Chain A
Amino acid sequence: ETGVTQTPRHLVMGMTNKKSLKCEQHLGHNAMYWYKQSAKKPLELMFVYNFKEQTENNSVPSRFSPECPNSSHLFLHLHTLQPEDSALYLCASSQDFRGGNQPQHFGDGTRLSIL
């Protein structure tokens, strides 16, 4: 299996539920990213990890909690979400987070709906 794999592809949850999104990359990359994609808005960078260390938290509410146990896996733990959190959540990876010239490779995303 190659590329960036995200599970689940679709998730419906109530505002009081707790769930987790999973991302796995098989590209040997060292950096991993979470983005939020909402309709009519640019992609929003949420978190960045480089060699398992968090290097960016883009003012994301604490109801989103990332976890990166190793360079190949990235999780986004969700709890007490709001309706405005309904969106497509994309995971990406790149070889190196420095310099900005490394293309980011994206997964197919998790479509999250908050009831």
Chain B
Amino acid sequence: AQSVTQLDSQVPVFEEAPVELRCNYSSSVSVYLFWYVQYPNQGLQLLLKYLSGSTLVKGINGFEAEFNKSQTSFHLRKPSVHISDTAEYFCAVSDPSRGTYKYIFGTGTRLKVLA
């Protein structure tokens, strides 16, 4: 079964520094990949998605992610973070070969941006 691993439960980083949030998934078959952000007391908001094509995907709020099939990774990056980026970030994968709508979510990474 497909699984998603977000190894870092918390990532502290200073404002204007770069950040990378790691996501690995278990299967090397074709997948769709998503990153969501959850601000306090809110639901999940889509940051970006990879369906096919270019392996570098750009999203909202200056975030981007790179799909690496050989390493089964989809790490999220931002070159310069702001205080307002403090939130929890979730990676999700779905497996189109199963014709399924199901997302498998990681456990989330809490990004704390420090002044």
Contact = CB atoms under 8 A, between A and B. Distances in A.
Interface string B89-103: 010001110111111
B101 A94 contact: yes
Contacts, number: 62
Contacts of B100: 100
Interface in B34-65: 34, 36, 41-46, 49, 51
Interface in A93-114: 94, 96-109
A100 B43 contact: no
A21 interface: no
User: Chain A: interface residue count, which band?
Assistant: 20 to 34
B105 interface: yes
A31 B101 CA distance: 10
From A48, A98, A104, name the one whose CB has the most chain B CB atoms within 10 angstroms.
A104
Interface of B: 4, 32, 34, 36, 41-46, 49, 51, 90, 94-96, 98-108
Interface of A: 4, 6, 31, 40-43, 45, 48, 50, 56, 90, 92, 94, 96-109
